[in-house]
A and B are shown apart, each in its own frame.
Chain A
Amino acid sequence: EPEVTQTPSHQVTQMGQEVILRCVPISNHLYFYWYRQILGQKVEFLVSFYNNEISEKSEIFDDQFSVERPDGSNFTLKIRSTKLEDSAMYFCASSGSGLDYFGPGTRLLVL
């Protein structure tokens, strides 16, 4: 069965550093998403991406965040200058036929 993959599974970084989280969506999907889940809280939508541009973003997704599809397979989330409160699990998802498939997540810890 096709699956969404994410790398790395864990990332530890210092406050103020840039991080790039990577995702490989399912190959024939056209819609891509990033979500995050702060420990013990609900999953929150960050951004959706379609046709090589952002289609929707939440108020969480401020100027420190950016997304890119640099080639035909990868979908990345960049956090420019990490803050302590960015510590969370970040999930990538892709959608086809109305069903969302989630990756296993990247656990980001900002120290």
Chain B
Amino acid sequence: SQQGEEDPQALSIQEGENATMNCSYKTSINNLQWYRQNSGRGLVHLILIRSNEREKHSGRLRVTLDTSKKSSSLLITASRAADTASYFCATDAGGTSYGKLTFGQGTILTVHP
């Protein structure tokens, strides 16, 4: 089964608008993380939210987690052209799989200047 599936697959917005990306997962988690990847480059860690947290903020980023629905959302406010990238959620089931991440398919975000 797929763990960590994002929607939409692609999102195109204008600079200054907000971008919301959603992630769903299937099994219980220890934490959920969001990563950013510029085209063909490495993974940049954005934010981690633990299973006992409901919301977390970091600068223009806001992440929510609903463990009852097994879903998370990433909101980027006042987007900039430089936010153009792929965004992935990744779940950490914890336990014996300490630190092992299961990634979703990602959302390709394009921010037009």
Contacts and interface: CB of A to CB of B under 8 A. Distances in A.
B43 A91 contact: yes
Report, as a range, how many residues of chain B touch the other chain.
Answer: 20 to 34
Question: Interface majority SS on A: helix, strand, loop or mixed?
Answer: strand
Contacts of B99: 31, 33, 48, 93, 95, 98, 100
B67 interface: no
A99 B96 contact: no
A68 interface: no
B31 interface: yes
Contacts of A103: 42
Report, as a range, how many residues of chain A touch the other chain.
Answer: 20 to 34
Best-surrounded residue of B31, B88, B90, B99 (most CB of chain A within 10 A): B99
Interface of B: 30-31, 33, 35, 40-43, 45, 48, 88, 90, 92, 96-106
Interface of A: 31, 33, 35, 41-45, 48, 50, 55-56, 89, 91, 93, 95, 98-105, 107
22 contacts: A33-B100, A33-B101, A35-B101, A42-B105, A43-B43, A44-B103, A48-B98, A48-B100, A55-B96, A55-B98, A56-B97, A91-B42, A91-B43, A93-B101, A98-B48, A100-B33, A100-B45, A102-B42, A103-B42, A104-B41, A104-B42, A105-B41
